Amino acid sequence: MKILSCTQQKQADAYTIAQENILSINLMEKAASLLTDEICRRWDKSHRIIIFAGSGNNGGDAVAVARMLFLKNYTVEVYLFNITGVLSDDCMKNVQRLQECGFPNYHEISNSFDPPQLTKDDIVIDGLFGSGLNKPLSGGFASVVKYINASQATVVSIDLPSGLMGEDNSNNIRQNIIRADLTLSIQLPKLSFLFAENEDIVGEWKVLDIGISKNFIEEASTPYFITEANEIRQLIKPRSRFAHKGNFGHGLLIAGSYGMAGASILAARACLRSGIGLLTVHTPVRNHDIVQTSVPEAMVQNDVHELYFAEPVDLDNFQALAIGPGIGQEEETALATFDQLKECFIPLVLDADALNVFSTHRNYLNRIPKRTILTPHIGELERIIGRCNNSFERLTKAKELSAYLQCYIVLKGAHTVVITPEGNCYFNQTGNPGMATGGSGDVLTGIILALLSQGYSQENACRIAVYVHGLAGDIARNRVGEISLTAGDIIEALPEAWKNITETK
């Protein structure tokens, strides 16, 4: 699914009206009817509905919702803020329609506002500003936002919480943005919904398909996408009836150090559960027996060093390489990693400490081969690019790094994003907070290694792995709950996740 900018959403709106023979007022009617259905599905008539509308089309949507709820016998009050004395055409038409049906509780505010008492049982519909917001809210509107936020009422925002920008909120004022419990987004989600710091502003969000032109959306150019199950399904290559293990690649995993054998075991197990033909784990001497015993399907290759990775490996017999889980931060390990990069001409994943080494050796960044996959969480990324003030800034800088290195960056988090060197960003929706536990990332590295070894492109390997990793996390959550979930549970759920995504639906 594409994520378009607010400007593009406006263009999409205009295109639909012009090309698909639909009047703008009817598009608003469609939006309002879906919004009303969603509200009625969640709240019955015992709740008072207080609607705050602005002078634009977001306000128009809200006023239309007021009429529809009133006609369904809900108790509704409308406060329309008409400060400049100018309403958008469709907002004005909806005010007329509201009055025509004998709506009793309509208040138009042109200067002073006498706010109603809001209680915890009230439902506030926020239709002050939507995609037309062009600067942070201030003055009277900021006061209205603060009053709504201070109330105990449940808040439902139309399209996006008033005051929130669809993309970049770096210069916004957080106190002047509505904090919604539910955001009902028109047609497509907004980029800012995917950022952690906006969680308590956006609340739960849901997209309502009002029938905006599919042609326009298909043709629109955007770097931002949300990965969906059917896209991943189409990327999976079927196995030939005559396949043998040689068809699925031989991967090398350089992982583990004394005290962190677990990371290598988790990555290796996840890799073997993700379809690799053969796996060799390169690990320090002291970890040999534990890896051999814990992952009997893998071959184990000893490093020269007793305790950590200290010497690069000959890669002639391997189709892909992953370095990093649990390798530690010894200087010798850092140097071995840099030497390994010089010798590496096969698809490569750098994770965990194989990324941390660059924070203290930035001049070695240029050694990372083009099309390498880097899998940092926020902390690991910021050790390389420096501290960022917000998610939009971090995403922008990660895109710059990806373009500079010509590498793929898998920036891990609640909505892990795969960033390609061309600048495309694929956000993931599977996964849950139960996965915020040591070793989850090692599992992801193992899955990516398995896919690279099987010949998937870097982009597809990242997108499939991130999706399936999250899906396995969701299956594991159903089995053991978020609190008990461990990285091992994600691995145990991988078979079901792979089955789910490969079964024809």
State the binding site for AMP: 412-416, 441
Contact segment (CB under 6 A) with ligand NPW among 49-57, 247-255, 310-318, 321-329 equals 49-57
- Given a contact cutoff of 8 angstroms between Cβ atoms, the answer to whether 394 and 412 are in contact is no
Restricted to residues 332-371, the positions that interact with ligand ADP (CB under 6 A) are: 352
468 interacts with ligand ADP by CB under 6 A? no
Side by side, which strands form the sheet with 348-351?
A: 224-226, 425-427, 417-419, 408-411, 373-375, 348-351, 320-323, 250-254, 278-283, 299-302
- Given a contact cutoff of 8 angstroms between Cβ atoms, the answer to whether 471 and 500 are in contact is yes
259 interacts with ligand ADP by CB under 6 A? no
Give the nearest distance from C-beta 172 to ligand NPW in angstroms.
Answer: 10
Complex with ligand NPW: residue 3 or 501, whichever CB lies closer? 3
Compute the distance between CA of residue 426 and CA of residue 408 in angstroms, rounded to an integer: 11
DSSP 210-235: ----HHHHHH---SEEE--HHHHHHH
Dihedral (CA of 383, 389, 395, 396) sign:
negative
β-strands 408-411, 417-419 pairing: antiparallel
Strand segments (E) across 240-364 = 250-254, 278-283, 299-302, 320-323, 348-351
H-type alpha helices, 276-427: 288-294, 331-342, 353-360, 378-385, 391-405
Burial, 475: exposed, middle or buried (Cβ in 10 Å; 0-12, 13-18, 19+)?
buried
Q: Which of 367, 414, 492, 502 binds ligand ADP (CB under 6 A)?
A: 414
Complex with ligand NPW: residue 141 or 408, whichever CB lies closer? 141
| CB within 8 Å of 52: residues ≥ 6 apart | 62, 79, 81, 124, 125, 126, 127, 128, 144, 148
Q: Is 284 helix (H, G, I), strand (E, B) or coil?
A: coil
Roughly how many angstroms between the first and final C-alpha of the chain, as a whole number?
A: 19
Contact segment (CB under 6 A) with ligand ADP among 91-99, 177-185, 300-308, 434-442 equals 434-442
Q: Which of 39, 444, 452, 485 binds ligand ADP (CB under 6 A)?
A: 444
CB neighbours of residue 337 within 10 Å = 24
143 interacts with ligand ADP by CB under 6 A? no
439 interacts with ligand ADP by CB under 6 A? yes
Partner interacting with residue 186 (select from ligand NPW, K ion, ligand ADP, none; CB below 5-8 Å by kind): ligand NPW
Give the nearest distance from C-beta 193 to K ion in angstroms.
Answer: 13
Partner interacting with residue 416 (select from K ion, ligand NPW, ligand ADP, none; CB below 5-8 Å by kind): ligand ADP
Token pair for residue 473? 């996390």
Give the nearest distance from C-beta 270 to ligand NPW in angstroms.
Answer: 41
198 interacts with ligand ADP by CB under 6 A? no
Binding mask 129-148 for ligand NPW (x = CB under 6 A): xxxxxxx-x---x-------
Contact segment (CB under 6 A) with ligand NPW among 5-13, 111-119, 231-239, 378-386 equals 5-13
Q: Is 199 helix (H, G, I), strand (E, B) or coil?
A: helix
Q: Determine the number of helices (DSSP H) and then strands (DSSP E) in the chain.
A: 17, 17
Partner interacting with residue 157 (select from ligand NPW, ligand ADP, K ion, none; CB below 5-8 Å by kind): K ion
59 interacts with ligand NPW by CB under 6 A? yes
> Which residues of the shown chain bind K ion in the complex (CB under 5 A)?
126, 130, 157-158, 162
Where is the binding site for (6S)-NADPHX, in residues? 57-61, 130-136, 159, 263, 326, 377, 442
377 interacts with ligand ADP by CB under 6 A? yes
CA-based R_g, the chain, Å: 27
**Please, what is the angle between helix 57-71 and helix 89-100, to 10°?**
20
Partner interacting with residue 461 (select from ligand NPW, K ion, ligand ADP, none; CB below 5-8 Å by kind): none
Helix (H) or strand (E) holding 7: helix 6-19
| Number of amino acids touching ligand NPW (CB under 6 A) | 31
Complex with ligand ADP: residue 280 or 375, whichever CB lies closer? 375
Q: Which of 13, 126, 380, 459 binds ligand NPW (CB under 6 A)?
A: 13
Compute the distance between CA of residue 118 and CA of residue 42 in angstroms, rounded to an integer: 19
274 interacts with ligand ADP by CB under 6 A? no
31 interacts with ligand NPW by CB under 6 A? yes
324 interacts with ligand NPW by CB under 6 A? no
212 interacts with ligand NPW by CB under 6 A? yes
Give one word for 480, left, alpha or beta, with left for phi > 0 and alpha for psi -120 to 50: alpha
Q: Which of 67, 412, 463, 477 binds ligand ADP (CB under 6 A)?
A: 412
326 interacts with ligand ADP by CB under 6 A? no
Compute the distance between CA of residue 23 and CA of residue 14 in angstroms, rounded to an integer: 10
Partner interacting with residue 303 (select from K ion, ligand NPW, ligand ADP, none; CB below 5-8 Å by kind): none
Restricted to residues 159-178, the positions that interact with ligand ADP (CB under 6 A) are: none
Where is the binding site for K(+), in residues? 58, 126, 162
Q: Give the residues lining the site for ligand ADP (CB under 6 A).
A: 352, 377, 412-414, 416, 431-433, 435-436, 438-442, 444, 469-470
Q: Give the residues lining the site for ligand NPW (CB under 6 A).
A: 9-10, 12-13, 27-28, 31, 54-61, 88, 129-135, 137, 141, 158-159, 186-187, 210, 212
